[in-house]
Structure 1
Amino acid sequence: MPSTNPKTYDSTTPRKVAFLGLGVMGFPMAGHLALAGHDVTVYNRSAAKAKAWTDEFKGRAAPTPREAVAGCDFVFCCVGNDDDLRSVVLGDDGALAGMKAGAVFVDHTTASANVARELSAAAKAKGLQFVDAPVSGGQAGAQNGMLTVMCGGDAASFESAKPVAMAFSRAFTLLGASGAGQLAKMVNQICIAGLVQGLSEAIAFGQKAGLDMEQVLEVIGKGAAQSWQMDNRGKTMIAGKFDFGFAVDWMRKDLGLVLDEAKRNGARLPVTALVDQFYADVQQLGGGRWDTSSLIKRLK
């Protein structure tokens, strides 16, 4: 969390909530819930990270997901992948074993649509509610409490969770039935992959042509070529700085989900598949933890 928190919180009834997973996204997201006045209990696989969170924010840590969610109205989660998600939701120590009847599980992990549907069905069988709610906005969005959240699930569950989730969101939108949130996040990642590759080629081309690319981006950024990637990554790409942001390893995980889903639904994604292989090249260069804008490194 930034030392001075710029987020202003809408007045909402304080609720008892849990947050599972305190990575680069979950740590500040859970922090915003606490700062908004909610009663927060956290769980993290590494107890040290949970202690760091409780040292910084008002709240408690629990040793298992089951214990963290006891008595909570809402359970929020942000972990790594499908298997990580199952590990905190299912089983004797999982969240579903400890949630009270009618409680809502809101999952912010970028995972498959299939696991969202699987866990939604498991929740309903126990009289619980599940919303898949992957986010866009990156680490900065999480820290500033300005994430865009794409949701799938039951409308009543969504509406009950929205006022609480707005503590870390700029938009929290229902897009369809269970799995729709994950599918929308896949659309988001397809868009990003193509945009970053196009921006990489444009900057590399302009540099080869001897242009002042900061000046060029300033000019074309006022026209039809403008994008979030250009505004937020153009200058760092020109400077060759990539030690921040959304890691290539994470993007490859996400694009793997996209390409698997495309095999199931028959969508043709030739550019996305190509950019995924370009990211594999960046990994081979040692850039697995570089920001996704590091695609330009292949062109140097």
Structure 2
Amino acid sequence: MKIGYIGLGLMGGPLARNLIRDGKNVLVYDLSNDAIQQTLAVGTTGSAAASVEDMVDCDVVFTSLPLPSHIKDVMMSENGLLTIMKKGSVYIDVSTIDPSTAEEIEDFARVRGIGFIGCPLGKGPAQAEKAEQPIFAGGDKATFDKVLSVLNIVGAPVHYLGGVKQAYAFKLISNMIGMTNLTVLSEGLRLGERAGIEAKQFQELLVETGANSFQLQVRGPWILNNDFANRFGVSLALKDVRLGCKMADGWGYDARFTKQAKKFYEQAEQSGMGKEDCNAVYKVL
């Protein structure tokens, strides 16, 4: 099996490296040569593509790209990869995009005899590097079964949610909850400071209450240590929150709490924090 991987950033790079570590024949492409070299360094079965068109003969192609528009440009434009991939091949996307775009991609691929599986991810780069990244898959069940062994290499556990709509909606909703929770946590930490409670003790005690959360346990200590290094950046968080609010609006639901949180991420980005971790929202609260 020949596998192509497009996009070797914080999430895509680790997943591609997992495939190479497993001995798979992987052709990789990224705009950053450093990202390519870092990925190829983990094994001998990977190689660099000069362009995405080099992946035309791949049996499976992955993309991990920032925006829906990037995916459509690479895969669905006039000379996009989906227009030249061989029939019977499978396209797997692990980006975070909106359900309507995912369904458009699925229809575009189906007409050309290509399977499409949407596989948004659940955690961060550290988990991805260890192949401990939860995968939320959606698409045709027969196609999913066809590539399940490959998905089990790049991450775990692999969950099948049904259609691509369900998979990408789940991811966006998850991020809407997580990012809104982070703004509430930041607000609470600021109030704890005003109350004069020692910051480390404050966080430790919150864990014992109904205020406990993933964000408290993971990003709380980073905030405590003034660590805003980019694991999941403000700009990416804002992109996902915007997509989620747009999705909700399209379904006639007003995501009021998420829209309020979105304002703080917008403020953080406008203040030059776009490439800092999303916990930098603490600074603007």
Which residue of the partner structure matches residue 31 of structure 2?
45
Structure 1 residue aligned with 2:210: 224
Of 46, 49, 56 in structure 2, the residue corresponding to residue 62 of structure 1 is 49
Number of residue-to-residue matches in the alignment? 284
Residue in structure 2 matched with residue 8 of structure 1 by the alignment: none
Match of 1:244, SS state, is: coil
In structure 2, what is the Cα distance between the partners aligned to 1:93 and 1:43?
17
Percentage of matched positions with identical amino acids: 28
Aligned AA (1:76)? F
Greater fraction of residues in helix: 2
Helix, strand or coil for the counterpart of 1:136?
Answer: coil
Matched residues in 1 for 2:121 and 2:56: separation?
22
Matched, 1:213 2:194: no
Aligned residues: CA RMSD: 1.8
Provide closer, same or farther for how the CA distance between residues 181 and 159 of structure 1 changes in structure 2, counting only shifts above 3 A.
same
The match for 1:185 is: 171
Say whether the 8 Å CA contact 2:176–2:240 is kept in structure 1. Answer: no
Task: State the Cα distance separating 1:213 from its structure 2 match.
Answer: 2.3
Per-residue deviation, 1:285: 2.3
Q: Which amino acid aligns with 1:103?
A: S
Paired with 1:161 and 1:224, the residues of 2 have a C-alpha distance of: 40
Shift of 1:54: 2.7
What is the TM-score with the length of structure 1 in the denominator? 0.88
CA distance in 2, matches of 1:100, 1:88: 16
Q: Does 1:102 align with 2:74?
A: no
The answer for the alignment partner of 2:226 in structure 1 is 240
What is the TM-score when the length of structure 2 is the normalising length? 0.93
Shift of 1:82: 1.2
Where structure 2 has 5 or more consecutive residues not aligned to the other structure, the ranges are none
Once the 2 structures are TM-superposed, how far is the Cα of residue 178 of structure 1 from its aligned partner?
Answer: 2.6
Distance 1:137 1:69 in 2: 30
Between 1:78-87 and 1:144-153, the stretch displaced more is 144-153
1:23-172 matched pairs, under 5 angstroms: 23-47=9-33, 49-58=35-44, 59-70=46-57, 72-91=58-77, 93-172=79-158
Question: Unmatched 5+ residue regions in structure 1?
Answer: 1-14
Asked if 1:250 corresponds to 2:242, the answer is no
Match of 1:284 in 2: 270
The Cα of 1:200 is off from its aligned counterpart by 0.7
Q: Aligned partners of 1:210 and 1:295: how far apart in 2?
A: 21
